[in-house]
Structures are given as structure tokens and as C-alpha cells.
Amino acid sequence: MNTGSIINIAVIILLLWFVYSRVRPAKGLKALGTNDFQNVLESTEKRMLIDVREPGEYKTGYISGAKNIPLSQLSGRLGEIPKEKDVFLYCRSGIRSKNAARILLKNGYTGLVHLQGGLSAWSGKLKR
């Protein structure tokens, strides 16, 4: 095997690892489909629902009771999220909410749930 082939294989492996690290589930995060998410959300008393989309996206429609804390601002606004509550996260497709969960997990949060597929999969009503 020549050096060029080895480099190509190494680049492909690194690329695959990067993609996998972005889409893999975060440990300690419960991913729920739309019906389960809604049922668990409604049956949990000590909870906080967070929409991690940007403000312009939030204004187009959000799940009732959601607080808008964009992923881009999350690290600076951790003080607004009580650690003693279960935290429900969602975004448009589910990717940003997974990334938000990783940030929260690194900062000692537990009881994290995210809407698998995000609002794209949501069948419930939205507030505007």
C-alpha cells in the first residue's frame, strides 16, 4: 500500500468519526418521539421546556410553555435553567437540541429529554 492510499483511508476514517460524533446520541439524554415527548412533558411536574432555535425561528411557532434559549446563547444562560427540574429540549430537526443536551450534561444537568426529529416531526399545536 502506498502513502497516498494510507492518507486517503485516514481521511475517510476521520470524516466518518466526525459525522458519527455529530449524530450519535448523547449519554444521559432521553430521545423521545413526538407522542412520547408530549405525554412525558404533560405528566412531569418539575420541568422546563426549552426551544433552542434562534429567536426568528421561535417567533414562527413554538410549543406552548417553551422558553427560547438559543443554542448560540446557552452556555451564557445556564443560570436560567434550574438543575432540579427535568429539561425538555427541542429545535427544528433535533440536531441542535442534542448539542444543547451535551452542553447541559457537561455542566451537571440530569433529567434531559429531547424531541427526536424536532418540530419537523411534531404533530401537536404550536403557539405563535
Catalytic residue numbers, as ranges: 91
**What amino acid occupies position 107?**
N
Classify strands 67-68 and 47-51 as parallel, antiparallel or unpaired: parallel
